[in-house]
Chains A and B, each alone.
Chain A
Amino acid sequence: DTAVSQTPKYLVTQMGNDKSIKCEQNLGHDTMYWYKQDSKKFLKIMFSYNNKELIINETVPNRFSPKSPDKAHLNLHINSLELGDSAVYFCASSQGRGGNEQFFGPGTRLTVL
């Protein structure tokens, strides 16, 4: 069983389009995250949700909107896609706060043309 899954794995789209990436975890964790890894491989946190509530929102454009329908799901919707949004997006989950290990999904490679 996959612990943290993301769909789609690859996403190729035109500038200006709106797209969504879905994430699900079956670990029973109460905290989920979205990260962006750019072409230079820097991994940066974008959002964090704890028990469906937003607790971290780094400096991310308003075009990015996370949605957590329940504790097991955290989706990422991106409006008006730009070239600079091209990256690999990782979803992760952990149990509680205070540095518990994070389990990462396989990533979604987004390419904006």
Chain B
Amino acid sequence: SQKIEQNSEALNIQEGKTATLTCNYTNYSPAYLQWYRQDPGRGPVFLLLIRENEKEKRKERLKVTFDTTLKQSLFHITASQPADSATYLCALGPGQNFVFGPGTRLSVLP
């Protein structure tokens, strides 16, 4: 069955460092992968989309890579700030049959 894992349930880093979050999947061949941010008590907010034929996408301090051979996506936040503290979810799909990962709760410490 399809399985999506995100590297850890929680990740603590110091302000100013680069946060790297991992999304791994098995028994799945996604056409695209998305990353969302979720703050407590709120709905997820879309951050980035990367398609299977793309290796890397950037948006301001965010960078996403997608390796279909390793079946893995890496999500980087450079120059992290306390305001980046949130839960980050990866989501995979063909079409609209979305499957979300369990999320990684990131805490950026001042």
Contacts and interface: CB of A to CB of B under 8 A. Distances in A.
B49 interface: yes
A92 interface: yes
B31 interface: yes
A105 interface: yes
A101 B93 contact: no
A101 B43 CA distance: 13
15 contacts: A4-B43, A31-B96, A40-B102, A45-B97, A45-B98, A50-B96, A55-B96, A56-B97, A90-B43, A90-B44, A98-B95, A99-B49, A102-B46, A102-B98, A103-B46
B25 interface: no
B22 interface: no
Contact of B87 (A31, A41, A100): A41
Interface residues of B, number: 22
Which 8 pairs show the lowest CB-CB distances between chains A and B? A104-B43, A101-B46, A99-B32, A43-B100, A104-B44, A97-B95, A90-B43, A48-B96
B34 interface: yes
A100 B31 CA distance: 12
Contacts of B46: 101-103
